Amino acid sequence: MTEQKIDTDLYSRQIGTFGMETMGKLIQMKVLISGLRGLGVETAKNLILAGPAAVILHDDAVAEMRDLGANFYITEQDVGKRTRAQACLEQLSQLNQYVNVSVHSGPITEELLAGLSVAVFTETSQADLLRLNEACRTRSPPVGFIAADCFGLASSVFVDYGDAFTCRDKDGEEPRSAIVAGVTQESPGTVHTHEGKRHGFQDGDWVIFREVQGMTQLNDAKPRQIKVTGPFSFTIEDTSAYSAYVCEGIVSQTKVPEKVKFNSYRSSLVMPKHEGEEMHVPDLAKFGRSEQLHFAIQAVLAYREKAGQLPAARDSAAADDCVNLAKELNEARKKEGDTALSVEEVEEDVVRKVAMFSRCMISPMAAFLGGVVAQEVVKFTGKYTPLHQFLYFDMFELCPAADPSDCKPLGTRYDDQIAIFGAAKQKAIADMKLFLVGAGALGCEFLKSFAMMGASCGSSGKVTVTDMDRIEPSNLNRQFLFRQSDMKQPKSLVAARVAKGMNQGLNVHATEVRVGTDTENVFDDAFWDSLDCVVNALDNIQARMYVDSQCVWFGKPLLESGTLGTKANVQVILPKLTQSYGDSQDPPEESIPLCTLKHFPHAIEHTIEWARDAFEQLFVEGPREGNNFLTDATAYLAKLPTEGTGTSQLARLNSIKKMLEQRGAGAFEACVEYAVLEFQDKFYDSICQLLHTFPLDHVTSDGTKFWSGPKRPPAPIKFDANDETHLDFVVAAANLYAANLGMPENRDKAAIARMAAAVKLTEFQPKDMKIKVDDKDTTREGCMDDDAAVRQMIATMSELSKSYQTAKPLEPAEFEKDDDNNFHVAFIAATANLRARNYKIPEADFHKVKMTAGKIIPAIATTTAMVTGLVSAELLKLATMDTRKVEDFKNGFVNLALPLWLLSEPLPPLKTTSKEHDPIIMGPVRAKPDGFTTWDKVDVKLIDGTLKQFVDYLMDEVGIEVMIMSAGNACLYNAYLPAHKKRLNEKVTKIWEDVTKQQLSPKRSYLCIEVSASDPDDGVDVMIPSVKFQFRETPAPAPPVSVEAASDQTSACCHG
């Protein structure tokens, strides 16, 4: 298959993670998945969404009722009638039209394996795994082999890709580049990079050099392995015989393929780790657990070989047998010496927990492992580092402290969970009141998980899900509840409907209401008070911060998670026990200095950002300016001289004049002429002007070369209608300009090329221009002659304005990144690459430009499924919170590319303490109470209370004198202002309404008030927690609304 056959609309976010080369390999893969309980169907779902050529399902076991607790495509009608594979086939086939999904029945033969890329085995006996692994290894080339098992709260994954697997890209990270500042002539040679930015390289990285002057031996494009010696230096080979370094040079990371040797399943059972490697430690609190699980899971598999089946749930005798088998196995390994893994002593409790629940399949573990396994399949393309070779993982924190008495099977879909938690805890899960914020990729997975676990499926349970977005084509690659027929439908309503189809007991209410301060009349105090937990499935920090602040205010647990390509994080936020999301934030994104963008780019990201700005200025702001002029020419022309430089003002006026003159012309040739003239201005004239102002031999006041370091000398480009990129620019710019003017498009490239070649271009005439050399430069940019030209142009436009009074408005563009046929990204791609050509920067492909300009977050189904499995396990812990301690909960960071799992206990909340000297106040500060956190509140209940009553209450009950009180950005009282004294007798609510000029919602019963205060005894400044001021009795929460009725309420909320 070729690159052209890849549906870039569907796979855009995935291509942003994997790249086109990997996608080209992935769409040719054929994969077998054997075993279709929860783990198998999760793996199949994630893999089919990723888009291999074919997926073969294999599971001849007839569906059981308990399968419905983790397999979301088996229905009650399938139980006892259809095999698991047949029951899942139709729904799995609908996930991706490009994947051939079929069922294989009967034994797995060598003939079946022969045509495969990778075979995944779950629910498979030890004897069969040994046989099938050998069969996969003996193929030429080898068939990738993955064995995975979910044994209730414990799991394992084993990967074997043969003796000589090639990994092309170990981490999937974008290669970093740095500007060379110097290279020494010694052994080893030391490379110094420009101190404006750390190089970001790591020991063992491979790099290539280009454009080095003097030491030209480095420009041979040969990858060199480096050793980092500092943030701005590293060493390479012996450079003592090389020519002396003079100046310039770019050094970039490069991906060097590596050979990875895998051991067979048989030998890995004896020694599961390679020389120089340790076993994965997913949980930092469980060092040594992987080794224990290795023996525990082998013992359970050995029990199945002996007894013909896995141990029954909570079968103590069978668990004892497994303990003995584990001990026997460990003793045998000890006798084999250093060539075998052994442990000092088998931990019986670990073996028992594996054995007792080995028949159970719970959704959180299945989702977690299904994401991991599917990603390992994708790695067969050579992208990312494969698991080498075992992963062991457990969720033993979910085990009840004492064995429940009500854990007998009830013949329901929840029997596997009941076996672990008991029926009473299952009811607690069912009665949870949840708020799911977001119904995109994470949201779809969470709704599926709720349905499988039975969360919010009881008579008192309810999950409210909200999302403002509509379904788009790119969503179908990750948001598995949606189909092609759902395009443009509300995400929340469709997701809720499909999830309810997976479990009719799910009580779900879907809305399209945005969560924020402006919708607190919908998600009101009573709503937040009624919740047991909030689950975020958001993709922006602002919304996360708001939801977090509400959870802190109302004292509700919050489960926070997010993904970025192969990376994911989980944060558990528990009232009074852990930090909130707002207690720690990621560092802000690096911004590109304005001067770098305008005049001195040295990376493709700089030219893409410049091109995105050009799109905005030409096709969005330009037409808007024209419409502002048409609306009120006098006011527009009066305001113009106060905005920007004369040069920018003149450009705006010329743009408006040209647009309005050509509006009625109707000839596409005028649009092509406009595009060619823009080309001439951007890629020839402006570069010539820059070189006129700063010639190539220009030196700074301190004698150094101006064009050095990050300042790359540009070269002008003359328009050539036969150059494909030149023509791409003209085609896109002409059509976008035509759309602004309300003219029909023209996609005939040959005709446009002829029109463009006929455009007459004038010779460049240099001007006396002022240009800033960096962002600290205070020079006023522009041409001095333009100020006089602006005054003349304003007079001209004032006269012409009368003739434009009947003109139709111009049509500004609205940037849309996901439509590859609208010329938006096409213009930006051509513009970015032409500017890169000006500055001799390597050009970017269309998809790279699309991802960067559209600020598209790379996303894949595997990471999403994996992280929701982790979060769902935390939700189960919350349902049994009465028996929990904070150590049971797990924050997590995962990078499936490496692969890396890091789980750890949530951090305690940050404390506010008294200080002898505060650097801001320049004196002592007292905290009341000392050590309070953001979770603490000062509760003040004064129904219809006045400001004086509020101030007196804090004096009497807290012992502080209120100096300033505010609510949000509104200052309600300042004791230092005499005019505020008259507010003392007014109601606090009236003061709030007067200051904010808003009406308090009748559904609102609290105000969050911040107080600056002092100690009345000694005048020391005092810090207190936020004040929760209750001014009316809390109204009762609204009755539950079913998903069928939700759309009516949604439209009322949206339009109310």
* pLDDT tens sequence across 1021-1031: 999 999 999 99
**pLDDT at position 123 over 80:** yes
Check if the beta carbon of residue 83 is closer than 8 Å to that of residue 31: no
Q: Give which of 667, 657, 620 is closest to 811, Cα–Cα.
A: 620
Check residue 217 and report its DSSP letter.
G
Q: What is the pLDDT of residue 431?
A: 98
The secondary structure element, H or E, covering residue 296 is: helix 289-307
- Among 142-156, 237-251, 782-796, the range scoring the smallest mean pLDDT is 782-796
Q: What is the pLDDT of residue 920?
A: 82
Return the amino acid letter for 383: K
**pLDDT at position 1055 over 80:** no
Q: What is the pLDDT of residue 649?
A: 87
- Grouping H, G, I as helix, E, B as strand and the rest as coil, residue 554 is helix
Return the amino acid letter for 501: G
Confidence of residue 32 (pLDDT cuts 50, 70, 90): very high
**pLDDT at position 182 over 90:** yes
Confidence of residue 786 (pLDDT cuts 50, 70, 90): confident
Average confidence (pLDDT) over 214-220: 97
Q: Give which of 360, 398, 393 is closest to 874, Cα–Cα.
A: 398
**pLDDT at position 1043 over 80:** no
**pLDDT tens track for 521-561:** 999 999 999 999 999 999 999 999 999 999 999 999 999 99
What angle (nearest 5°) sits at the alpha carbon of residue 627, between those of residues 626 and 633? 80
Q: What is the pLDDT of residue 1037?
A: 55
Q: What is the pLDDT of residue 1044?
A: 43
Confidence of residue 82 (pLDDT cuts 50, 70, 90): very high
Pairing of strands 206-210, 190-193: unpaired
Q: What is the pLDDT of residue 1050?
A: 33
Say what the pTM is.
Answer: 0.93
**pLDDT at position 717 over 70:** yes
**pLDDT tens track for 589-641:** 778 889 999 999 999 999 999 999 999 999 999 999 999 999 999 999 999 99
- Grouping H, G, I as helix, E, B as strand and the rest as coil, residue 962 is strand
**pLDDT tens track for 796-841:** 888 888 888 777 899 999 999 999 999 999 999 999 999 999 999 9
Average confidence (pLDDT) over 872-879: 97
d(CA 616, CA 813): 8
Average confidence (pLDDT) over 106-124: 96
Provide the b/e sequence for 510-523 (b: ≥16 CB within 10 Å): bbbbbbeeeebebb
**pLDDT at position 1041 over 60:** no
User: Got the DSSP string for 398-449?
Assistant: GS-SS--S--S--SSTTHHHHHHH-HHHHHHHHT-EEEEE--SHHHHHHHHH
CA separation, residue 519 to residues 263, 470, 514, 539, 1001 (Å):
58, 19, 7, 19, 10
Q: Give which of 790, 673, 692, 667 is closest to 730, Cα–Cα.
A: 673
Q: Is 950 exposed, middle or buried (0-12, 13-18, 19+ CB in 10 A)?
A: buried
Q: What is the pLDDT of residue 807?
A: 76
**pLDDT tens track for 655-682:** 898 888 887 666 899 999 999 999 999 9
Q: What is the pLDDT of residue 790?
A: 86
State the average pLDDT for the chain. 94
Check if the beta carbon of residue 1039 is closer than 8 Å to that of residue 486: no
Q: Per the structure block, which two tokens stand in for 621?
A: 């702001």
Provide the b/e sequence for 88-97 (b: ≥16 CB within 10 Å): bbebbbebbe
**pLDDT at position 647 over 90:** no
Task: Please report where in the chains the tokens 């676990």 appear, as a residue.
Answer: 453
More confident residue, 880 or 730: 730
Q: What is the pLDDT of residue 340?
A: 97
d(CA 500, CA 450): 10
Confidence of residue 780 (pLDDT cuts 50, 70, 90): low
Report phi then psi at 413, rounded to 5. Answer: -65, -20
Q: What is the pLDDT of residue 1054?
A: 32
**Treating both helix axes as pointing N-terminal to C-terminal, what angle do 289-307 and 348-356 enclose, rounded to 10 degrees?**
50
Q: What is the pLDDT of residue 3?
A: 43
Check if the beta carbon of residue 371 is closer than 8 Å to that of residue 150: no
What proportions of the chain, in percent to the nearest 5, are helix, strand and coil?
A: 45, 15, 40
d(CA 573, CA 619): 45
More confident residue, 1040 or 956: 956
d(CA 1046, CA 513): 11
Percent with pLDDT over 90 in the chain: 87
User: Mind telling me the catalytic residues?
Assistant: 595
Task: Write the Ramachandran bin of 814: left for phi over 0, alpha for psi from -120 to 50, otherwise beta.
Answer: beta
Q: What is the pLDDT of residue 1048?
A: 37
Return the amino acid letter for 524: D
**pLDDT tens track for 307-339:** 999 999 999 999 999 999 999 999 999 999 999
**pLDDT at position 1042 over 60:** no
**Dihedral sign, Cα of residue 25, residue 28, residue 33, residue 39:** positive
Most confidently modeled of 137-146, 803-812, 1047-1056? 137-146
- Grouping H, G, I as helix, E, B as strand and the rest as coil, residue 139 is coil
Confidence of residue 772 (pLDDT cuts 50, 70, 90): confident
Query: Would you give the distance in Å from CA 334 to the centre of its chain?
Result: 46
d(CA 523, CA 540): 19
Average confidence (pLDDT) over 704-716: 94
**pLDDT at position 30 over 70:** yes
**pLDDT tens track for 694-707:** 999 999 988 999 99
**pLDDT at position 934 over 90:** yes
d(CA 536, CA 442): 9
